[in-house]
Amino acid sequence: MNIHVNDEPHHFAEPLTLHTLLNLLALSPAGSALAVNQVIIPRDNWLSHQLKDGDQILLFQAIAGG
């Protein structure tokens, strides 16, 4: 399975969830938001959201402002 995380290509042998992806890449979810194919995925769904071949993942820091 080939996916892109913040525009960097990655290859994985088996399907995985967003949560598993973060663990494999040692990325901290604290204060972060995730989008898959330009759709924000709520944090409550990270454990169950299955990634598919060709998915584009964007991990970014949530910033408060006013």
pLDDT digits (tens, 9 = 90+) for 22-57: 999 888 778 889 999 999 999 999 999 999 999 999
The pLDDT of residue 66 is 57
Q: Return the structure tokens found at 61.
A: 């820091």
The pLDDT of residue 48 is 95
What sign for the dihedral angle of Cα 28, 30, 31, 34?
positive
The pLDDT of residue 65 is 64
Domains for the chain: give ranges and CATH numbers.
Answer: 2-61 (3.10.20.30)
Q: Return the structure tokens found at 46.
A: 């990270």
Select the more confidently predicted residue: 15 or 42.
42
Strand partners for 9: 4
